[in-house]
């Protein structure tokens, strides 16, 4: 088994557990169900992502800001699937 498959599997499982956590926490609110996604900017401190504002090319800066504002569980799952695909090409 390739290291890409192992890392991709862990990322997909982590993303699924994060979605399960978000589902349970949204059910625990009083009243109506409110889904609050966990984004990367909630996890990482702002001082570690200040370098993105210094990127001179607007399209690259916008790409990084888009990735940082995505749902963290989706980022993990998509990265895991990408590693599965890379592992399929790399494996001999």
For 70, the domain range is: 3-90
Question: Does residue 16 surpass a pLDDT of 90?
Answer: yes
Would you say 76 and 12 are in contact if contact means Cβ atoms under 8 Å apart? yes
Angstrom CA distances, 36 to 3, 27, 57, 65, 74, stand at 33, 11, 31, 19, 13
Total domains, the chain: 1
CA dist., res. 17 & res. 38, Å (int): 12
Helix (H, G, I), strand (E, B) or coil at 28: coil
- Mean pLDDT for the chain? 87
List the Cα angle 8/17/50 in 5-degree steps: 75
Q: What is the pLDDT of residues 18-62, one digit of tens each?
A: 999 888 888 887 778 778 888 888 888 888 888 888 888 889 888
This prediction has a pTM of 0.77
Q: How confident is the model at residue 13 (pLDDT cuts 50, 70, 90)?
A: very high
CA dist., res. 3 & res. 81, Å (int): 13
């Amino acid at each position: 088994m390739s290291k890409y498959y192992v890392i991709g599997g862990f990322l997909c499982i982590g993303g699924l557990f994060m979605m399960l956590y978000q589902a349970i926490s949204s059910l625990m609110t009083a009243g109506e169900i409110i889904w609050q996604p966990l984004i990367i900017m909630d996890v990482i401190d702002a001082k570690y992502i200040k370098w993105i504002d210094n990127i001179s090319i607007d399209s690259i800066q916008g790409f990084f800001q888009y990735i940082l504002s995505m749902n963290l569980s989706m980022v993990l799952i998509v990265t895991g699937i990408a590693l599965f695909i890379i592992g399929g090409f790399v494996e001999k």
